[in-house]
Homo-oligomer: A and B are copies of this chain.
Amino acid sequence: MWQLYHFPLCPFSRKVRLALGEKGIAYDLLRENPWEGREEFFALNPTGKTPVLRHSEKDVVLIDSQAICEYFEETVDKTPLILGTAANRAEIRRLTALFDESFFADVTNPILQEKMKKRIIYRAAPDSGLLRETIRLLHEHLDYMDWLIDNRRWLAGAQLSLADFAAAAQISVVDYLGGVDWRGHEGAHGWYRVMKSRPSFRPLLLDKMEGLPPPRHYSDVNA
């Protein structure tokens, strides 16, 4: 059985959970708080980051959400998520990287820092100036998503792909930690509602971070 080392608000673990869900692969969840720097976890992954996916019998340890998703793309035929021509696949990987890297650095990571870590680890107040700047960048990203959705059926083209799941994983963390103000972003909002209503999303919407309840609308697939 596969075991996923994760914490509920890790966007990269969420991306992997969505991909595994779509592909119908079962796994157990193991809770890991990477900020605790547990020695046994560093022995498993020298970067100390979640997610790590381990197979207890097969002696396989997979690290890095993209490497994990590529592995299942190569080994499981069900629901291809990196699909189409080589150029389509490059576009899927470009957008996946954009959300994993730029959206995470601009938006998800500062929000995790200010609203999760400061609350449950450091017991400090969030920096409101920094949060304002983060919200500004969130709206720039949502503008870009609106533009993509105006021009394409899904984010990376005609087919649902890993880019949609990478984006939804990041956004779901932001939405958990205070909600996304969708006004002016009808395109992206409609897309997110569709993503939220997929069966693979269900376990994510029910997951809770202790001491940090999500807003009411978070798990409402119509909100």
Binding site for B on A (CB under 8 A): 46-47, 60, 62-64, 66-68, 70-71, 74-75, 86-87, 89-90, 93-94, 97-98, 101-102, 144
List the B residue with the shortest CB-CB distance to A92. B67
Instruction: Kindly list chain B residues whose C-beta atoms are within 8 Å of the C-beta of A101.
Output: 47
Instruction: Kindly list chain B residues whose C-beta atoms are within 8 Å of the C-beta of A64.
Output: 93-94, 97-98
Bound CA span A75–B90, Å: 11
Q: Is the interface of A mostly helix, strand, loop or mixed?
A: helix
Bound CA span A144–B89, Å: 32
Bound CA span A102–B70, Å: 20
Instruction: Kindly list chain B residues whose C-beta atoms are within 8 Å of the C-beta of A102.
Output: 47
Report whether A67 and B86 are in contact in the complex, using a CB–CB cutoff of 8 Å: no
Which listed residue, B68, B71, B87, touches A60 by the CB 8 Å rule?
B87
CB distance from A197 to the nearest CB of B (A): 28
Q: A46-B144, A47-B98, A98-B46 are in contact. Are A90 and B66 (CB under 8 A)?
A: no
Report whether A94 and B75 are in contact in the complex, using a CB–CB cutoff of 8 Å: no
Report whether B47 and A67 are in contact in the complex, using a CB–CB cutoff of 8 Å: no
Q: A46-B144, A66-B66, A102-B47 are in contact. Are A74 and B89 (CB under 8 A)?
A: yes
